[in-house]
With several copies, the nearest count.
Chain A
Amino acid sequence: MINKAEKSITDVLSQIKDGATIMIGGFGTAGQPAELIDGLINLGVKDLVIINNNAGNGDHGLAKLLKTGAVRKIICSFPRQSDSWVFDELYRAGKIELELVPQGNLACRIQAAGMGLGAVYTPTGFGTLLAEGKETRHIDGKDYVLEYPIKADFALIKASKGDRWGNLVYRKSARNFGPIMAMAADVTIAQVSEIVDLGELDPEHIVTPGIFVQHVVQIQPASTEPASDESTSTAATA
C-alpha cells in the first residue's frame, strides 16, 4: 500500500542535504509552509538555494532561515518589503546572492521545469535590467527574452487537505505557487491541515494530483496545549 502520509516532519526533511535547491510556497504568509520551514531550520543544513516569491518577513519563517546563514542564494521577485530587514542586512553585507526574477517569469520558469520544456521566450522583462545579457528574439511583431526552467531538489508547500496518495487541494489565496512548485521539484513535501481518506477528495476538485507529491505531513492545528517536539505533526490514519 502506497502511503505518502508521514508522521514526523523531522524524519521526512532529513533527506535534505547541504547545497540543496528548495522551492518554498507562499505569497507573503498565505500558503507559506511555516512548520516545514521551522523543520528546515532545525535540520541545520547549509549552502541552500531558496526559491520563493519573497525573501522573508519579520524574524520568523523564511527570514529566520536566512538569519541562520543557511541560504547561499535566493531566487525571488519581491525581496524588499517593509519587514524584510533580515534579508536587507544580509544582502547589503554581501552575504547572500540574489537572483531577482519578475514574478511571472518566476512562475513560468517553474512551470517550464514541471512541463519538461528546455526554455521559453517570454515578453516580460524585455529591454530591462533584469534581461541584461540574456538572449532575445523578435517573434511575430513582439520582443521576447529567452528564459530557462527553474527546477528544484525539493518543494516545501502548504495545502489544505491531502490523502495518502499525495492528492492535494488548497484554500483560497494560499494556493499561489503550490501547484506549480509541486510539479517542478524532484521531491515535493506538502504540509496539510488534514489528511483525509482516499476517495474523499473529489477527482474533479483535486488541484495537485498525487503524481507531483512525494510526502504529505498533517500539521496539528494550533492549540493551547504545550507543544512537545513532535507535536506539530500527527500520524495519518488514512
Chain B
Amino acid sequence: MSHTSYTALTRDQIAERAAQDIPDGAYVNLGIGLPTKIAQYLPDDKEVFLHSENGLLAFGPPPAKGEEDPELINAGKEYVTMLDGGSFFHHGDSFAMMRGGHIDICALGAFQVAANGDLANWSTGAEDAIPAVGGAMDLAVGAKKVFVMTNHTTKTGDPKIVSKLTYPVTGKNCVDRIYTDLCVIDVTDKGLAVTEMVDGMSFTDLQALTGAPLINATK
C-alpha cells in the first residue's frame, strides 16, 4: 500500500484540536488520559465548566508543588484546584448531572468506535482481564454530546473505527464526534462523515486505515 506523506497529530495536538470545539459556557467532563489534556488547551477567553464524577464542578489546573490536597482530586485521582464559583456535591448529584443530560460534552478515550456510534472503551473482553467500568457508561448515555479521542489505529495498525464492535460495548449509538491523530469524524445518520484530515492525508488512504465506510465531508 502506497502512502501519501502525512504527519499524524501528537496526543497534545489531538487535545488542542478537540478543545477548539468546546464552546463558551459548556459543562464538560473529560475522561481519564488523553481527554484530560483538553483542559490545557481551553482558551482563556472562554469560561468552560469542568465536571469531575467524584463531586466537583468548575475545578481548575493542578496546584503548585507543595500545595496538593489529598481531598481535592479529580476522577483520575490527580490533584486539582477549584475556581471561584466551583462547588462540591455528593456522588448522587454528580451522576444526576451526567445521567440526567446536564453535561454538554464528555470526551472519552476508546478501544473501538462503530459506524453507528457504538463505543467500546471499558473492556477488551480478554479472558483473564480484571474488569472495571467506573463512570464511562454513565457518560456515554448521559452527556448531550460524546466526543471520542483516540489514535486512528491500534499500535499494531488495526482500525479502531469499525463497522461493528468486536470489544464489549460501553454505550450504544452514543458517539457524536471522533478526534483521531489523522482526522475529525462526525457520526451522522448517514454514516461516518470525515470533516477534516491532517495535512498530506488523502481520503483514500484514510479509508484504508478505517474499518468502516467513510463519507468525505471535508471542504
Q: Which residues of A contact B (CB under 8 A)?
A: 1-2, 27-31, 77-81, 84, 87-88, 91-92, 98, 100-108, 110-111, 113-117, 122-130, 143, 163-165, 167, 170-180, 183, 198-199, 201, 203-204, 206-207, 209-212
Contact = CB atoms under 8 A, between A and B. Distances in A.
The listed residue with most B CB atoms (<10 A of its CB), out of A77, A98, A172, is A172
Contact of B49 (A31, A78, A211): A211
Nearest to B131: A100
B180 interface: no
B130 interface: yes
B90 A211 contact: no
Nearest to B103: A211
Contacts of A174: 71
Contact of B71 (A164, A167, A172): A172
Interface of B: 24-25, 27, 47, 49, 51-58, 69-74, 77, 82, 84-103, 123, 128-138, 141-142, 168-172
B95 A77 contact: no
A204 B87 CA distance: 6
Contact of A77 (B102, B133, B169): B133
B131 A114 contact: no
B96 A2 contact: no
A182 to B, nearest CB: 10
B85 A199 contact: yes
Contacts of B49: 165, 210-211
Contacts of B135: 77, 102-104
20 contacts: A2-B47, A27-B91, A78-B133, A91-B130, A92-B128, A100-B131, A102-B138, A103-B91, A103-B134, A107-B94, A108-B95, A110-B91, A113-B100, A116-B98, A124-B99, A173-B72, A179-B90, A206-B87, A209-B87, A209-B97
A81 to B, nearest CB: 8
